[in-house]
Amino acid sequence: MPSVISIRATALAAGAGYGYQLLGIVLLSSLMAMLLQWLSSRLGVVTGRDLAQICRERTSRRTTLFLWLTSEVAIIACDVAEVVGSAVALQMLLGVSLTVGVLMSAVCTFALLALQQKSGRKLEAVIAALIGFVGLCFVIQLALARPDWHAALAGSAPSMALLRNAGMVWLAAGIVGATVMPHNLYLHSALVKHHAPQGSDEEIKAALQVVNLDTFGSLSFAFVINAALLIVAAAVFYTNGHRDVTDLADAHRLIAPLVGTHWAGILFAAALLACGLSATVTGTLAGQAVMEGFLRIRLPRWKRALLTRALAIGPALLAVALFGQRGSNQLLVASQVVLSLQLPLAVVPLIRFASNAGLMRGWQVRGMPLVLAWLSAAFIVTLNGALLWQLAAGV
């Protein structure tokens, strides 16, 4: 059950600040996510074990603990983004304070998990409905925004020139981190590992076909949503001279008069809330996968959600208390950059194990897919290196 990727704050800032120039990064990130999720599903289906379990089996105890800790940091960083994003959406829709919104978002998480206790299918239906609603909102917003499609097509080609612009590097790292998401690689391999345990080649082939169809379909839909948000921001804010709009609340306030209908603001806030709610379940499942895989500790989902949310609510409350709306949005973008910095720690082991002939029993990744996987890892490392160099130079 791959999640719809949420890159709200980074896509908004990218579109408002640089027009369509970073649309190519959204496309490239989505393609890398598809490739790496394909590797993850192949690893899980063929071996019957997830990435975290294989890391535990094939690395030292110290390395295992390090990988587990960094995975938990990524999960908490992602959850911080969802807490803050949901809080901002609730403030837009209901007029509550950000502090109340943060607490309400936690309550919503446990309400969804309570629904899962009664029926997993009901929860899946609710999540599917939320994701579908998000897609509908952005389709309507695209129609209202009337973007320049020729400029958007030109911006869909990634350029290495962005590495020379500190602001673009920061946003590009956030887009990559929030699209690929390191903990989703662990989660995906865990979700599919029971599809063909110790199966024959025909059973493995059939299972991979089903899993890959679901993966590519979900991530293609996620790309459409992420690209739509950036295009809307470019068409509404960048084109009209509001190039300093990086704040979700400012975007909500400005989008209605610029587009010409109050429904634009309502749809923006509603989609923001739906994104946050749908992503909470993914974070909980990812937390279970890494804790059980690395440490052999299994917690009930409500306990795992309580642990992650407790660690995420602290930074979120601190940011909104000290810095208000601006601080919360900066925290949201920074949390997604953290995901990019964590990515190599999941991507490199994944590629190594998925290309291991002994482990994969003849189903190892080879040829062009393997080359593309290593190129993806090299791009992520290069982007993170440029980010760290520019941050160090600015200190």
Each domain of the chain, given as residue ranges in start order, spans 8-394
pLDDT in tens, 83-125: 777 887 888 888 888 788 878 877 777 776 666 665 556 666 7
The average pLDDT across 149-172 equals 83
Q: Residue 153: pLDDT above 60? A: yes
Do residues 43 and 369 touch, judged by C-beta distance below 8 A?
no
pLDDT level of residue 39 (50, 70, 90 thresholds): very high
Q: What is the pLDDT of residue 2?
A: 38
pLDDT level of residue 4 (50, 70, 90 thresholds): very low
Q: What is the pLDDT of residue 115?
A: 65
pLDDT level of residue 50 (50, 70, 90 thresholds): very high
The average pLDDT across 314-323 equals 68
Do residues 15 and 232 touch, judged by C-beta distance below 8 A?
yes
pLDDT level of residue 54 (50, 70, 90 thresholds): very high
CB atoms within 10 A of CB 249: 18
Measured at the alpha carbon of residue 31, what is the angle toward residues 211 and 6, in degrees to the nearest 5? 85
For a pLDDT cut of 90, what percent of the chain falls above it? Answer: 25
Q: What is the pLDDT of residue 5?
A: 38
Q: What is the pLDDT of residue 159?
A: 74
Report the SS3 class of residue 195: coil
Q: What is the pLDDT of residue 52?
A: 95
Could you give the CA distance from residue 53 to residue 61 in angstroms, rounded to a whole number? Answer: 12
Instruction: Out of 134-138, 164-168, 185-189, pick the least confident.
Output: 134-138
Using alpha carbons, select from 373, 376, 369, 372 the residue that is nearest to residue 351. 373
**Would you state the CATH architecture of domain 8-394?**
Up-down Bundle (1.20)
Q: Is the dihedral of CA 297, 303, 309, 310 positive or negative?
A: negative
DSSP 269-331: HHHHHHHHHHHHHHHHHHHHHHHHHHH-----HHHHHHHHHHHHHHHHHHHHHHHHHHHHHHH
Q: Residue 394: pLDDT above 70? A: no
Q: What is the mean pLDDT of the chain?
A: 82
Burial class of residue 334 in the structure, from the number of CB atoms within 10 Å of its CB (0-12 exposed, 13-18 middle, 19+ buried)? middle
Q: What is the pLDDT of residue 359?
A: 92
Report the SS3 class of residue 339: helix
Could you give the CA distance from residue 331 to residue 328 in angstroms, rounded to a whole number? Answer: 5
Q: What is the pLDDT of residue 104?
A: 84
pLDDT in tens, 249-272: 667 677 777 766 777 778 778 877
pLDDT level of residue 326 (50, 70, 90 thresholds): low
Could you give the CA distance from residue 58 to residue 51 in angstroms, rounded to a whole number? Answer: 11
The average pLDDT across 66-75 equals 90
Q: Residue 273: pLDDT above 60? A: yes
Structure tokens at 150: 């020729």
Could you give the CA distance from residue 27 to residue 34 in angstroms, rounded to a whole number? Answer: 11
pLDDT level of residue 58 (50, 70, 90 thresholds): very high
The average pLDDT across 287-299 equals 87
pTM: 0.85
Q: To which H or E segment does residue 332 belong?
A: helix 301-354
Burial class of residue 263 in the structure, from the number of CB atoms within 10 Å of its CB (0-12 exposed, 13-18 middle, 19+ buried)? middle
The average pLDDT across 325-351 equals 80
Q: What is the pLDDT of residue 361?
A: 85
Do residues 267 and 291 touch, judged by C-beta distance below 8 A?
no
pLDDT level of residue 46 (50, 70, 90 thresholds): very high
pLDDT level of residue 163 (50, 70, 90 thresholds): confident
Could you give the CA distance from residue 180 to residue 376 in angstroms, rounded to a whole number? Answer: 11
If one compares 362 and 116, the residue with the highest pLDDT of the two is 362
